[in-house]
Amino acid sequence: MPRLALAGIAATAVLLAGCSWGGSQPSASATSPATPEASVTAASPSASSTPAPSIDTDVRVIDLGEHGSYGVVTLPLDAWDVRVDWPQDPDGTDLAEYIASHPGIGALTNAGIFSENLRPGGLLVADGEQLRELNLSDGAGNFHLKPNAVFEIRDDGSAAVVDSTEYAPGGVSQATQSGPALILDGEIHPEFREGSANTAIRSGVGVSPDGRTVYLAITRTYVNLWDFAAMFRDQLGVEDALYLDGQISQLWVSGNTEPSSFLGPYAGVIAAYPR
């Protein structure tokens, strides 16, 4: 897929905002969705039509028919600086406010499942500082569907998605924990079922086998977790990928209109800046 200016993508998709599918606005529940494959209702798009300054970004739409349609942002780490952040605002992180206060941002998504008090559900490391501890506890909901995993950026400029039980903090500059893992070592999560009728909007992050490219993805149609994981594996060649969140997720890209009407509040975010 060639590199595409975002103006062209906007004409072919309800771009990468997972909440722009129409319908009523969802509640920002803590561990959404509550079950591994819960249905979702998406929020209506914003009436705003003022685009942010355009940054040339590798954006593609992967349409797999009955197996879903996906928006994917490809971020080679020699060209992009990918960071994890948690502003720790007691009112949560609003995407539009975050974009306005971070000039030069090229792509932004909410970074994983969070609690009712707007705190990340597990580990979060921002610019080398651990803001939340690793969470290996058992419980209900997607986050605790083991194995879950950590997306990390290392000091050497490489990225990885690792099983949470195998996370090692040394040399990690950015990290976010969520769950379930979509793929680890090329194997789809053992609890996913091919052909499942339980579908939702999904967002996730994957890393190329050499650790030099990060893929941010959001579904443009309701899909099950098996199909979402298979897209990363079969279409992007990813061996390790992590589910971030469901019905409230967004993936904003510079050059698109402002985020849709559901701006948050979120907790942590994954932000990408061109080098």
State residue 202's pLDDT score: 93
Please indicate whether residue 191 or residue 3 has the higher confidence score (pLDDT): 191
Residue 35 in domain: no
Give domain status of residue 3, yes or no.
Answer: no
In a domain, 66, yes or no: yes
What's the CA gap between 239 and 17, in Å, rounded? 25
Q: Please indicate, yes or no, if residue 29 is contained in any of the structural domains.
A: no
Note the pLDDT tens digit of each residue in 119-169. Answer: 999 999 999 999 999 999 999 989 999 999 999 999 999 999 999 999 999
Query: Mean pLDDT, to the nearest integer, of 232-252?
Result: 94
For residue 32, tell me if it sits in a domain.
no
Place of tokens 């500059």: 173
Does residue 225 lie in a domain region?
yes
CA distance 215 to 205: 6
pLDDT, one tens digit per residue, over 80-97 is: 999 999 999 999 999 999
* Structural domains in the chain (count): 1
Inter-residue contact 220 to 70 (CB < 8 Å): yes
Cis peptide before 147 (omega within 30 of 0): yes
Task: Kindly state whether residue 233 falls inside one of the protein's structural domains.
Answer: yes
Tokens 């789809």, located at residue: 188
| Helix-, strand-, coil-residue percentages of the chain, each rounded to 5 | 10, 35, 55
Amino acid, res. 257: T
The answer as to whether 182 is a domain residue is yes
Burial class of 153 by CB neighbour count within 10 A (0 to 12, 13 to 18, 19+): buried
pLDDT higher for 164 or 255? 164
Q: What angle do CA 9, 235, 153 make, to 5 degrees?
A: 85
Which residues, 6 or more positions from 265, have their beta carbon under 8 angstroms from its beta carbon? 28, 89, 91, 92, 93, 94, 118
Tens digit of each residue's pLDDT (9 = 90 or more) over 7-48: 222 222 233 443 332 222 233 333 333 333 322 222 223 333
> What percent of the chain clears pLDDT 90, i.e. is strictly above it?
73
pLDDT of the residue at 206: 98
240: containing domain = 16-23+42-274
- Phi, psi of 178, deg, nearest 5: -150, -170
Residue 270 has pLDDT above 90, yes or no: yes
DSSP strand pairing (181-184 vs 187-188): antiparallel
